[in-house]
Amino acid sequence: MIRDGRPFAGLEKSAIWQYIHCQMEVAMVVVHAVRDNGIPQSPVNLGDDSARERLTPAAVSGVVRLAEIWRLTSVEVCALLGDVSERTWFRMKKGEWSGSLSQDTLTRISALVGIFKGLRLLFSEPLADEWVKLPNKGPLFDGRRPIDVMIEGGIPKILLVRRHIDALRGGL
């Protein structure tokens, strides 16, 4: 559409234009990161101790914030993370834990952050933040809360919920 001699004039305020603009900004951030840091040769090997040590602080910070936003209990967080005790969780929240997360726990956190991001892209903030705690009649959930399905099913269900959210977004 060309209006006033400008391509796409009038679209600046539409939802589609805002989405495209946001995606272009994200793409530019990635381009600059690749230019500045080089292209990674391979995905991160979570089996490598040094990689896990490097990723752990950001993962802990992210899951602490995620637990706050989703209003998760300590029991729910520990169940989602798999091998984290409540005592360790409380130390993580206070910033008093300096260990290294396991490959399993980092995988879980990565998937949970992906679910969080997907929900924020799909829904407005109140619904996006409450979605995991709301009963869901979809076949994956059968009337249960997504958080309960993920806790009971471990990594396979967490990844399935992640794929479900991606599919809702049109990503799969």
Residue-wise pLDDT for 69-109, tens only, equals 999 999 999 999 998 999 999 999 999 998 999 999 999 99
Q: Which residues of the chain have pLDDT under 70?
A: 1-41, 171-172
122, two tokens: 């799909």
Q: Is the pTM of this model over 0.85?
A: no
Model pLDDT, residue 30: 47
Residues 50, 34 share a domain: no
Domain that holds residue 4: 1-41
CA 108 to chain centre: 10
Distance CA 167, CA 150 (A): 17
Model pLDDT, residue 104: 94
In 38-102, alpha helices (H): 49-70, 74-81, 86-94
Residues 160, 103 share a domain: yes
Residues 156, 101 share a domain: yes
Residues 164, 116 share a domain: yes
CB count within 10 Å of CB 121 equals 15
Residues 18, 80 share a domain: no
**Tally of domains within the chain:** 2
Model pLDDT, residue 46: 82
Model pLDDT, residue 129: 95
